[in-house]
Amino acid sequence: MRLIRVIEAARVGGMMRMMAVPPVKRFSHLPSMHAPFSLLSRQITMDAKNIASRLNSSGLLRTQGLLGAKWADAYDGKTIEVSNPATGEVIANVPCMGHKETNDAISSAHDAFDSWSKITAAERSKCLRKWYDLLISHKEELGQLITLEQGKPLKEALGEVSYGAGFIEFFAEEAKRVYGDIIPSTLADRRLFVLKQPVGVVGAITPWNFPLAMITRKVGPALACGCTVVVKPSELTPLTALAAAELALRAGIPPGVVNIVMGNAPEIGEALLASPQVRKITFTGSTAVGKKLMAGAAGTVKKVSLELGGNAPCIVFDDADLDVAVKGALAAKFRNSGQTCVCANRIIVQEGIYDKFANAFAKSVQNLQVGNGFSDGVAQGPLINEAAVQKVESFIQDAITKGAKVILGGKRHTLGMTFYEPTVVSDVKSEMLLSREEAFGPVAPLLRFKTEEEAIRIANDTNAGLAAYVFTNSIQRSWRVSEALEYGLVGINEGIISTEVAPFGGVKQSGLGREGSKYGIDEYLELKYVCLGNMNSN
């Protein structure tokens, strides 16, 4: 039974309709060559039945875009399929929107801006706080939705809900702290002020690897300071975004403040870039698309923030605590099956500890249980799609051809579909694809170094500069190396460092601007200098 029917059956009254126009197929991988599919399929269908009926009863299974106050289909009726990466089954059809719907979403956001930006910060703060409370009270359903459409283990998905909701809570508080300045005047009869004002309508484009957190990280600060938004989630994971938008409306955030469009990404991007009403583009995704958006924003000179790809080094020094380093590298590498921008992409190990580390690390990796994200004990789910698996395969092939050795894994998992074995590759060199680009999969390349200088040189030998990790027990070395690394974030003796209270963002081609923390709200504000003159006149 196709999962969509499961969900449709659960939606008595039919909020989701059978589509007149055939949906655009997104999933290229087919189960036929992999025997265990039917088993997985039965298991997930049972899960999906429960999830569908729970989501339906809580009204969180939204399958239309949000244009102002209206939940809307694509104007031409076209839809796209949203699939479960663990089974390939279709979860839902959502509208395949383009220029026209995006322009209407922009108009709604523009209309809503006047009143939303003029209410008090305290009122906006209350709405955001209510939204946070609703996200947390629906944590379980949202987590299940994330696992269903993105594949990550349920425990990680629940963690994403807490992390994602944390941005809404944090910026509900920050809303009340957008202070201006008074500048000592150079002339006695003048007073000089700086006001901070919301930039206006924001276009926010987000990826599939964190279907909730990448949205709240942008929408939280934007709404807090009075901006309105048009969000374009990835077509691979739109359901979490739509559920979050439903909760935003329930929290009393007025219609038009949050709009959601999805479908034809280039068309939606063009509409956002072309509109003079959109004053800011905030994007998380690949460096290639980020560059296009940055160039496109020049036409109307929009403010731009970009959170792009990484190529994170994880440097393990001889003086590191081996257990801490193994645990940290494991977390930094294999979270979300290696599909995060801050994933350790190159594990660079000093020669004195290399063999010991490689053995202990491979043992820990071997213990990672692979499977459907809904199954107990699973630490690694599927990759997002077939193309992601092929990318990992080609990187490993390239490394083997150039002399690297696979010491664990190195092939598709017997579960088939989009499952890949957690893999460790040793003797990786700087010229290999595994070192040069993001593998975005469960493969840990080990590189060897002799001196601190060499480690820093290898680590900085990339156009990316997002996250880096250092394992050492020397406080002096940890400072020296942190200062020398050309990265936006550095974890010392820690593999998971993202939090809503600290600034997140990259240098070099990993992006522009920062998200989260007290700095994150500046990306959505303009400074206005006001000069009050002739103070001595009446």
Residue numbers at the binding site for ligand NAP (CB under 6 A): 205-209, 214, 232, 234-236, 265-266, 269, 284-286, 289, 292, 307-310, 341, 438, 466, 506, 511
Closer Cβ to ligand NAP, 194 or 387, answer by number:
387
- Distances in Å between the Cα of 239 and the Cα atoms of 72, 219, 385, 450 are 14, 17, 17, 48
Closest distance to ligand NAP from the beta carbon of 80 (Å): 8
Q: Smallest Cα–Cα separation from 54: which of 130, 142, 136?
A: 142
Please, what is the end-to-end C-alpha distance for the chain in angstroms?
A: 81
Q: Which two tokens stand for residue 91?
A: 């979860």
Q: Is residue 270 annotated as a catalytic residue, yes or no?
A: no
Give whichever of 6 and 466 is closer to ligand NAP, judged by the CB atom.
466
**Whole-number CA gyration radius for the chain:** 24
Torsions phi, psi for 408 (to 5 deg): -155, 140
Question: β-strands 79-83, 303-307: how paired?
Answer: unpaired
Residue 324: strand, helix, or coil: helix
Q: How far is the CB of 193 from ligand NAP (least distance, A)?
A: 34
- Least Å distance, CB 287 to ligand NAP, is 6
Task: Tell me how far, at minimum, the Cβ of 292 lies from ligand NAP, in Å.
Answer: 6
CA distances from 4 to 63, 75, 94, 157, 236 (A): 11, 22, 11, 22, 15
C-beta closer to ligand NAP: residue 236 or 434: 236
Least distance CB 272 / ligand NAP (angstroms): 8
Among 372, 361, 220, 344, smallest CA distance to 282 is for 220
Contact status, residue 49 vs residue 43, Cβ threshold 8 Å = no
Distance in angstroms (rounded) separating the CA atoms of residues 51 and 4: 12
Smallest gap from residue 265 Cβ to ligand NAP (A): 4
Q: ∠ CA 530-113-273 to the nearest 5 degrees? A: 95
Looking at beta carbons only, is 164 or 371 nearer to ligand NAP? 164
Report the DSSP pairing between strands 90-95 and 79-83: antiparallel
- Range list of H helices, 69-185: 99-118, 121-137, 139-150, 154-174
Instruction: Pick the closer one to ligand NAP by CB: 55 or 236.
Output: 236
* In contact, 245 and 158? CB cutoff 8 Å: no
**Identity of residue 346:** R
What is the spatial distance between Cα 394 and Cα 400, in angstroms, rounded to a whole number? 10
Q: Which is nearer to ligand NAP, 243 or 466 (CB)?
A: 466
CB of 489 to ligand NAP, least distance (A): 10
Nearer to ligand NAP, 313 or 371 (CB): 313
Among 101, 156, 307, 523, which one carries the catalytic annotation?
307
Q: What residues does 194 pair with on adjacent strands?
A: 181, 529
Active site residues: 307
